[in-house]
Structure 1
Amino acid sequence: MENFNYSVAIIDDERESLYTYSLILKQSGINDVVLIEDPRELPVVLKERSFSILLLDLSMPHISGFELLKYLSVEYPEIPVIVLTAIKDIETAVECIKIGASDYLVKPVEKNKLISSIKKALEMNRLKEEISGLKHRLIEDRLEHEEAFSEIITVNQRMRGIFKYVEVISKTEQPVLITGETGTGKELVARAIHKISGRKGDFVAVNVAGLDDNMFSDTLFGHRKGAFTGAISTREGLISRAKGGTLFLDEIGDLSEASQLKLLRVIQEKVYYPLGSDIPKSSDARIIVATNQDIHDMVNRGAFRKDLFYRLKAHHVHLPPLRERKDDIPVLLDHFIKEAAKQLGKKPPKYPEELLILLVNYSFPGNIRELEMIVYDAVARCKSSILSLEVFKDMIDISNSIDKELKSEIVKFYIQMRFPDKLPTLKEMEELLIHEALRRAKGNQGIAAKMLGITRQALNKRLHKLHKK
């Protein structure tokens, strides 16, 4: 086998097997080989680095290779796994392949057979990477309307991919559904769609949350003089103001059923009736809607009309939360510091390196809008040339945020395994959590303690006990 820049991890509790197969790999030109004797270490190692391929034993203490394979197929489906085991059983082999193993080899495995299996798995992986590379090249292509996205600060490739999709759908007449958590920038994307569309009319935005059917109808369709008590003059609705342009309806999930039906009629028939009028008016406004609710779930529960949902979902843009685009945090932080300083008439302050560690480890339930408000407040309070880390610590509840994240990545790992034969002790879990928090905090004990929901003094005591072991 040629000298490839591949990396392989061997997970086996038998040291002799680890030595034998690592020697075969190195003799075949693969020098980057990591040996893992305790299967519980694999998830931690995979957080730090990736591998071209994994060689996995089935019969191991603490966590069986079979359960580990199920975990890998969900969390790391891009890494091929070859099972190496002494279990010579057809049903087990078939089950492993079904779960996602690239191959199933019975020990002792001959050198040629092992290398042949690795070559096939790597070739399949290479084909997958080529397909992935094509996707990345499409994402990285220069946008035709870069200026339309100037208000959306991002370096995230997933967001760039969304921009490419937005460019494609903007020229059509079909409605657009934008979903995403609060503060992710749904209205900014709607404005970008309007800019790219080339429509001559205005972009008209309205938040429909809290509007009952009468208020919704009056706001969108307007009314004739005398249509109801207090209607002393005729008033045009927002849909009329959006003629030849775009009508953006935010919080669409809050619409009553009666309002949903009226919106459906506008989309289908391109006509509407002002309150108090039986003369239809035509509309050519492009409809874009947004919601932070789970609209699919609402449809399934009957809380949102299925026919309207499918009309609105002609084009669907889903914006990821900030916690899924953490590479944007540094550029957003710099942008918001400059903007806040400009508004406050200050010189933009600098910030300590620890601040980025703190922010990257926070889940931002309010997303970009929350980050903007936090930064603005911190800049307003700043009395020197450097932002105070303590101000940020006071403003964000990192302990609750990180506790959930740690459970999903470490504690939940054991749940996904349906618990190994031997449960981890509380002391073992405490040690895992402390080490993971320190890793994420890049050694900063103050931030690690905040993540764990304890004081720095309490963390020091626990570390002292661990070091004495």
Structure 2
Amino acid sequence: MIKRGRESLPVLLVDDESTVLESAEAVLQGAGIESIELFEGGTTVMERMRHGPVGAVVLDLFMPNLSGTELLPMLVSGYPHVPVIIITAAQDVDIAVRCMKEGAFDYLVKPIDDKRFSITIRHALEVRSLKTQVDTLKHYLITDDLRHAHSFSGIISQSRKFRALFQYAEAVAPSPEPILISGETGVGKEKFAEALHHLSGLPGRFVQLNVAGLDETLFSDTLFGHRKGAFTGAHQNREGLVAQAVDGTLFLDEIGDLSMASQVKLLRLIQEQRYYPLGSDVAKNSRVRIICATNQNLDRSMLANQFRADLYYRLSVHQIQIPPLRDHKEDIPLLVRHFLEEAATSMHKKAPIVPGELITLLKNHSFPGNVRELRAMIYNALAVHRSGPYLSMESFRELFQKRQAEGDQAGRMDLDSGQNSLRILEQFPTLRNAEAILIREALRRAGGNQGTAALLLGISRVALNRRLTRLSTQPHWREFLNQTLLHGESPDDGSEAW
């Protein structure tokens, strides 16, 4: 047995003629499949199968000592998840069909077309990978296990939604197929891409590129590199990112902004796994795993003819949709503590205690900038914090008041344009009732904390107290206020801290 290549799931070529083995190996290497093991005869194949995972087996039917017809049922029964491709002569097609019924993945008739041979092997490897992913996902559904939690250490979450994403990431990370990560700005798409690279076990580098704003020429030069003299100013050869990420991961961010011409080039790179540096007519094999990310809706972009459908389906073999922070607000306390400790270390300060009022306030914010916005808030708050055991609320109050003023301005613009931005109930409420409804909802969201409720309403604490005093004359309001303020009020000094 001769072993070549570094990939974890090799292709086993089994034939009794060394010239056939070397020819088949050359074809596969030319197609970018480099992990290959050669077996001159079938006597040692089963022993090799017991020593580690295999991607696929290419098996000649007629060999001395142990023929392919004898070896096939042993492989199918012992390793049903490994595709076996039968090689046969034209007059043996009936035998090949019987082999298919016995569990062979496919068969090829000699003389074999090089392109069909490489496509068949690649298809078999894809099926093998998908079977592994399905088995892994079944395991997670049954056990709720997470095998490599340390790979996600850069993603701070205890949410069930994120645990499910972690499990899915573990299942698809070893696959050579592209992965599409989508989500709003600031949700952590780059962190997920880094985790996927770590989980893949690839020995190469993690190389990233933001493709937004790159024209066709710059995109080609950045990814594929150029040869000396390819264009004015090309004084020497330069390797592109595809070469720099060999046996590793190439992460392309903002893929939804890629120009149509560049989309064609990326599609060819993925389909053919070959590329041409600028100024060269010699193709180079691509040995990278591609991960893409976008904050756009690519389905909508396809309908608008702004994104190629064929590229989308190539990129989205595996998809990870990261939820916005407003959909996993249970992580806010954990994130606040993490960012506060991180900021304190970078600023050489002692991390103060987080007031309980702050967590309530943050959970009532929509976070259009997601985790990145929360991180900026915490860093800014610590930067202006001067003294005292509790983190100052002042910077947060100022920020939320500014946002509310912007919201009021947007509301006035809606009214000026004649748009109705408020859905009125079927029974039109009086102004007094509408005020009572808003105050009640603000207190509910604030957990009874009057300071936070006043901030949500855009009024002062004193103004809210006046309204509560007036409302307390109504019996049903008196009962509600007693219950809410008795169990939910947090003192302003931050003594009820998280």
Cα distance between partner residues in 2 of 1:248 and 1:236 = 17
How far off is 1:252 after superposition?
0.5
How far off is 1:137 after superposition?
8.1
Contact 2:140–2:146 (8 Å) recurs in 1: no
Unaligned runs of 5+ in 1: 1-133, 404-411
How far off is 1:462 after superposition?
3.3
Q: Which AA in structure 2 matches 1:454?
A: I
Q: Does 1:378 align with 2:353?
A: no
Unaligned runs of 5+ in 2: 1-136, 409-419, 475-498
Cα distance between partner residues in 2 of 1:444 and 1:137 = 41
Pick one of 297, 300, 303 that aligns with 1:297. Answer: 300
Q: Where do residues 20-419 of structure 1 align in structure 2 (5 Å cutoff)?
A: 138=141, 141-384=144-387, 385-396=389-400, 399=404, 415=423, 419=425
Cα distance between partner residues in 1 of 2:184 and 2:316 = 17
Q: Does 1:463 align with 2:468?
A: yes
Cα distance between partner residues in 2 of 1:339 and 1:436 = 34
DSSP 3-state at the match of 1:204: strand
Partner of 1:440: 445
**TM-superposition CA deviations, 1:34-66 (whole Å, max 9, x none):** xxxxxxxxxxxxxxxxxxxxxxxxxxxxxxxxx
Q: Does 1:450 align with 2:455?
A: yes
Q: Percent identity?
A: 54
Contact 2:340–2:382 (8 Å) recurs in 1: yes
How far off is 1:365 after superposition?
1.1
Summarize the Cα distance change of 1:136–1:372 in structure 2 as closer, same or farther, 3 Å threshold: farther
Q: Which AA in structure 2 matches 1:436?
A: E
Cα distance between partner residues in 2 of 1:423 and 1:378 = 42
Q: Which AA in structure 1 matches 2:394?
A: E
DSSP 3-state at the match of 1:206: strand
TM-score (norm 1): 0.65
**TM-superposition CA deviations, 1:386-433 (whole Å, max 9, x none):** 210112222345637999xxxxxxxx9x95xx953x333343232211
**TM-superposition CA deviations, 1:233-291 (whole Å, max 9, x none):** 11111111111111000000110000111111111111112122222211020110000
Q: Which AA in structure 2 matches 1:445?
A: Q
Contact 1:139–1:157 (8 Å) recurs in 2: no
Q: CA RMSD in A?
A: 2.6
Q: Which AA in structure 2 matches 1:270?
A: Q
Q: Which AA in structure 2 matches 1:393?
A: R
Q: Which AA in structure 1 matches 2:453?
A: A
Q: Which AA in structure 1 matches 2:450?
A: Q
Contact 1:156–1:328 (8 Å) recurs in 2: yes
How far off is 1:171 after superposition?
1.0
Instruction: Report the count of equivalent residues.
Output: 325
How far off is 1:370 after superposition?
1.2
Q: Which AA in structure 2 matches 1:254?
A: D
DSSP 3-state at the match of 1:258: helix
Cα distance between partner residues in 2 of 1:219 and 1:200 = 22
Summarize the Cα distance change of 1:212–1:456 in structure 2 as closer, same or farther, 3 Å threshold: farther
Cα distance between partner residues in 2 of 1:400 and 1:148 = 42
Cα distance between partner residues in 2 of 1:304 and 1:454 = 47
Cα distance between partner residues in 2 of 1:448 and 1:135 = 46
Moved more, 380-389 or 446-455: 446-455
Contact 1:364–1:371 (8 Å) recurs in 2: yes
How far off is 1:361 after superposition?
0.8
Partner of 1:71: none
Partner of 2:436: 431
Cα distance between partner residues in 1 of 2:246 and 2:405 = 47
Cα distance between partner residues in 2 of 1:173 and 1:136 = 21
Cα distance between partner residues in 2 of 1:447 and 1:295 = 39
Q: Which AA in structure 2 matches 1:364?
A: F
How far off is 1:135 after superposition?
11
How far off is 1:459 after superposition?
3.0
Cα distance between partner residues in 2 of 1:440 and 1:322 = 17
Contact 1:398–1:450 (8 Å) recurs in 2: no
Cα distance between partner residues in 2 of 1:364 and 1:352 = 19
DSSP 3-state at the match of 1:290: strand
**TM-superposition CA deviations, 1:303-326 (whole Å, max 9, x none):** 111111111110000000111111
Cα distance between partner residues in 2 of 1:430 and 1:269 = 64
Summarize the Cα distance change of 1:170–1:368 in structure 2 as closer, same or farther, 3 Å threshold: same
